Amino acid sequence: MPPRRVNTERLPAHGFVIAVGEDTIANMRARVEQCRRLAATITDQRAAGILRQMADEGEQDIKRLLAEQESRRLQPVARGDEE
């Protein structure tokens, strides 16, 4: 059974923080490249299109995750002892 896809857009509304390490991003990039290489070598054009779409979506996910991390990194931390 394939892993369940999590709707990450809903998680911040519930106060969850998604931390993605460098290893995870590197793995995601490797999967994107793997999809592109396979799409370039197979003869089934429908399957190749699906693989290219998967690669595009993976790149979008990587960009979104990195942007979210950068945004959180730049936000000031609220401190309860300051008045």
Of 18, 55, 21, give the one whose Cα is nearest residue 36.
55
**Quick one: average pLDDT of 51-55?**
97
Encode pLDDT of 38-51 as tens digits. Answer: 999 999 999 999 99
For residues 74 and 45, which has the higher predicted lDDT (pLDDT)? 45
Residues 6+ apart with CB under 8 A from 69: 19, 20
29 pLDDT band, cuts 50/70/90, is very high
The rounded Cα 47 to chain-centroid distance in angstroms is 22
Is a pLDDT exceeding 80 seen at residue 21?
yes
The pTM (predicted TM-score) of the whole model is 0.65
**Quick one: average pLDDT of 2-17?**
52
